[in-house]
Chain A
């Protein structure tokens, strides 16, 4: 039937429905749109992920801000800790003199008479810390002088003292001098002289120094 009394506008619209060229064009348009679905899904997913990332970033930023404000309150404490940490080389480069003297006392055999013990720090190195310039000794020189009877039971008693003391001192310690002076024609005592050098920055457990508690991680 012919389209009686239908307006040209409606007829023009209806051409879109029935003309093969328009239907084919519409099919191409729809196919193109369908082909975009994976891309759209990807875009939506990306936007979702970006949104999540931004949300996470803002959360981290607020956390960082909060931590920074908290840390501001801890700044004086940090400063004190920094000073303590700066003092660490000074504290480490110490020889427990009491322990050394105690060990000498323990190890000295009855045949020996210790006349003089001299302990000197040497090998100074400068160390710049906040509070000033310090000189830190790298090693300790221990000098022991005394007498050994000429007719002692053990003629090498002084040497045994040196060896025993060396074992008690930290590793890398060494005997710098070990001699005995005087002969049978002289006095009934012979003078011995021991010189040991020990590093300051080492463990002195051999001297009987024991750890009282776990080291503070600070």
Chain B
């Protein structure tokens, strides 16, 4: 009890309380996309996106890149934090939450679809403990020596609810290197912000796709192409049943096509969500729906008009912006 009180008195966020935290916990969100060499951010209020910053990587107070490193770590602390600048620019409250969507290096992230039954676990909690303590035991030939952080979502990839799957239902297990996550947490602490979540970009894309695309009555194959490679996923109706990491989009689709029969998918529709279109389109299979600026309005239901740093509202229909906007409302 005494220790709890002293810890509270030592750690209590006084600035947060004095900035209105006593009365309200409704805070704006800054959703950051963290790439290998680019950082973008969506500033969102209670009703969704308000402003968008498409190039924050040059800011002296920018968050670390996807490898956990920051170009400006050694520079002097700026007089005003990046979060403070963004909240001021978009007239948001000073207390903010950070959401990080990270396009991490292939070696720093891990995805797997399995069931609790095959993992010989009874619950998600016990599975997470086992993954944290002994990933070799869970994944067989776990090669990584660096510590990872782990999370599990249900087969529908519902990010807002605690997964309570049956032991024979598929679950998505994903992990990110502890060093990468810690760098974002540390940066957020310097900003005086709290952290909502740190999500690998492919997981965020697959969750968005499963809740936005018209896959309720059809099986689907979804490939998320990022700067670090391509992650392919197979959905039976809206349930994730398979995931794989490949170097290229064509590799991912080829791999998924080979598994289609084994997965017993019925004429799945193919979707490609791409950060940038990394390959020539001829190498991408035909009968493919590429989610891009041309069709995003039809998929998401509306076009996004967001304010930029210069103060004017600009149409933002790149898939990444829609993804961040969807995430802040979850």
Binding site for B on A (CB under 8 A): 1-7, 10, 13-14, 16-18, 22-23, 25-27, 29-30
Residues of A contacting B159 with CB < 8 Å? 1-2, 4
- Smallest distance from the beta carbon of B282 to chain A beta carbons, Å? 37
Q: Is the CB of A3 within 8 A of B196?
A: yes
Q: Tell me whether chain A's interface is mostly helix, strand or loop, or mixed.
A: helix
Q: Which 8 A-B pairs have the closest CB atoms?
A: A5-B198, A4-B197, A4-B151, A5-B149, A1-B330, A14-B194, A10-B185, A18-B25
Known contacts A2-B160, A3-B195; is-contact A30 B176 (Cβ 8 Å): no
Q: Is the CB of B195 within 8 A of A14?
A: yes
B22 on the A face (CB < 8 A): yes
B68 on the A face (CB < 8 A): no
Residues of B contacting A25 with CB < 8 Å? 8
Q: Is the CB of B330 within 8 A of A22?
A: no
Q: Is the CB of B195 within 8 A of A6?
A: yes
- Which residue among B12, B149, B189, B197 has the maximum number of chain A CB atoms within 10 Å of its CB? B12
The interface on chain B, measured as residues whose beta carbon lies within 8 A of the other chain's beta carbons, has a size of 35
Binds A, one of B13-21, B237-245, B270-278: B13-21
Q: Is the CB of B197 within 8 A of A23?
A: no
- Smallest distance from the beta carbon of A30 to chain B beta carbons, Å? 7
Q: Is the CB of A2 within 8 A of B21?
A: no
Residues of A contacting B160 with CB < 8 Å? 1-2
B161 on the A face (CB < 8 A): yes
Q: Is the CB of A10 within 8 A of B21?
A: no
- Smallest distance from the beta carbon of A132 to chain B beta carbons, Å? 83
Residues of A contacting B153 with CB < 8 Å? 4
Q: Is the CB of B8 within 8 A of A2?
A: no
Q: Is the CB of A17 within 8 A of B16?
A: yes
**Can you name the residue of chain A whose Cβ is closest to the Cβ of B199?**
A4
| B305-330 CB contacts (< 8 Å) to partner A | 327, 330
Q: Is the CB of B195 within 8 A of A10?
A: yes
Q: List 6 A-B contacts (CB under 8 A).
A: A3-B195, A3-B197, A4-B197, A4-B199, A16-B11, A18-B194
Known contacts A17-B194, A26-B12, A29-B9; is-contact A5 B151 (Cβ 8 Å): yes
Residues of A contacting B175 with CB < 8 Å? 5
- Smallest distance from the beta carbon of A66 to chain B beta carbons, Å? 53
Residues of A contacting B233 with CB < 8 Å? none
Residues of A contacting B189 with CB < 8 Å? 10
**Can you name the residue of chain B whose Cβ is closest to the Cβ of A10?**
B185
A85 to B287, CA, bound (A): 131
- Which residue among B99, B150, B175, B197 has the maximum number of chain A CB atoms within 10 Å of its CB? B197
